[in-house]
A and B are shown apart, each in its own frame.
Chain A
């Protein structure tokens, strides 16, 4: 399968615990994005990387959230001291870096987080 993959698909944790999610983009895609989607809402942008550089962060990304893409390939999203409000689907997307026009973002299946 050459699509975007995410792991785990589901995560249940207790409030206050730390969680980490992984995203493997489509190979040769330079750009990687993280979004959060809650029930009944569209995805909300969190952050994006071009290769290993984190170029944009939403104000939604509080200090408890950190994302990395150390080698410009896979990325991790860590949430520290989880809160019930963090319960959501965390979506990863990737796109190629092609000059001019819109580069379609391909989404992974998401990691569904439930904070008890």
Chain B
């Protein structure tokens, strides 16, 4: 079983739409959770950390449900520049932040 499971998409949404991505993780002992963004043929970059209380950064909202081992990312008012692959990331509970487990990524295309 993979450590992190994501729906690969693709998600094609019109500009201005709200879109949500979900992922699940297998190890209940995992401590830290993140969303990374990866543009085509580029390296991954940290988008935001995910906290138990939920957190928001502008149009982006991340939530964590430890009981269900479920992480979500909500993007409001989608922009063309949001088109990218969004990677759900969990730290390895055995090594902490030294080993990141990435999901396969969910591809988003925002259409004009």
Contacts and interface: CB of A to CB of B under 8 A. Distances in A.
B9 to A, nearest CB: 11
Which size class do B's interface residues fall under? 20 to 34
Interface in A102-116: 102-105, 107-110
B43 interface: yes
A109 B43 CA distance: 5
Contact of A42 (B42, B92, B95, B104): B104
A48 B99 contact: yes
A105 B87 CA distance: 14
Greatest chain B CB density within 10 A among A40, A42, A48, A95 is at A42
A69 to B, nearest CB: 14
A66 B34 CA distance: 29
A26 B4 CA distance: 28
B111 interface: no
Interface residues of A, number: 22
A40 B105 CA distance: 8
A27 to B, nearest CB: 18
Contact of A56 (B8, B44, B99): B99
Contacts, number: 49
Contacts of A107: 43-45
Given A102-B32, A102-B49, A109-B43, A42 B99 contact: no
A104 B46 contact: yes
A65 interface: no
Interface string A68-108: 00000000000000000000000100010000001111011
A19 to B, nearest CB: 20
Contacts of B32: 102
A55 B92 CA distance: 14
A77 B78 CA distance: 39
Contacts of A103: 97
A42 B105 contact: yes
Interface of A: 31, 33, 40-45, 48, 55-56, 58, 91, 95, 102-105, 107-110
